[in-house]
Structure 1
Amino acid sequence: MITEYVLFSLPAGITREEVVAGMNEIAPRWQSEPDLIRKTFIYEPDAGQAGAFYLWKNKESAQRAHGEAWRQRIQDTYGSEPSIRYFETPLVVDNALGKLIPEDR
């Protein structure tokens, strides 16, 4: 598994309500992503940033989902270039589901 960390700056003056509305608008698109295990949206109003933590089956799927068209949409919508980092994820503790999720190798 791979955890992908995506962060981008928001335009000045954007409200929390606008940020959350954008998250809700695109959430269904991510529900149809077959190799996405989980997405956690994040928002930091003091820094003027938003993004997400994604848990993917593999890095290739993450990179495919966040290709040039996706980057351009972030640029067009928020006026910033997203920063992306990848982390190997050997184990997830999921208290909501009450289980451990090991990587599938």
Structure 2
Amino acid sequence: MITAITTFQLPKPITRDEARRIFLSTAPTYQGVTGLFRKCYVLSQDGSTVGGIYLWNSRAEAEAMYSESWKVFVREKYGSDPSVTYFDSPVVVDNITHEVLSD
């Protein structure tokens, strides 16, 4: 499994309520995406950075998401270029399903 962390510096800070509205508007885009187990939207405490933490089945499936068209979408939506960092996730603890997952 792969964890990808995306971040975008905003041109001006936003509130939690603004972030929630924006995130809810884009959330359906990520439903049913091949290889994506979970996405958590994140907002820095000062409201100047947003992003996501994604758990993917594989790096290839993650990279398929972060295409040039996705980068254009992010630039248009948030007004900045995205950063994507990948991490191997050999073990995941899920306290909702009470499972320990390993690839």
TM-score (norm 2): 0.92
**Aligned residue runs from structure 1 range 1-12, under 5 A:** 1-12=1-12
| C-alpha distance in structure 1 between counterparts of 2:9 and 2:37, whole Å | 25
| C-alpha distance in structure 2 between counterparts of 1:63 and 1:25, whole Å | 22
| C-alpha distance in structure 1 between counterparts of 2:60 and 2:72, whole Å | 19
Letter in 2 for 1:3: T
**Aligned residue runs from structure 1 range 76-95, under 5 A:** 76-95=76-95
Q: In the comparison of the two structures, how many residue pairs are matched?
A: 103
**Aligned residue runs from structure 1 range 1-105, under 5 A:** 1-46=1-46, 48-103=48-103
Letter in 1 for 2:90: P
| C-alpha distance in structure 2 between counterparts of 1:29 and 1:79, whole Å | 19
Unmatched 5+ stretches in structure 1: none
Q: RMSD across aligned C-alpha pairs, in angstroms?
A: 1.3
User: What SS does structure 2 have at the residue aligned with 1:80?
Assistant: coil
| C-alpha distance in structure 1 between counterparts of 2:92 and 2:77, whole Å | 32
Identity, in percent, stands at: 35
* Cα offset, 1:19, TM superposition: 1.3
Unmatched 5+ stretches in structure 2: none
| C-alpha distance in structure 2 between counterparts of 1:32 and 1:26, whole Å | 13
Give the 4+ runs in structure 1 shifted more than 4 A: none
Letter in 1 for 2:48: G
TM-score (norm 1): 0.90
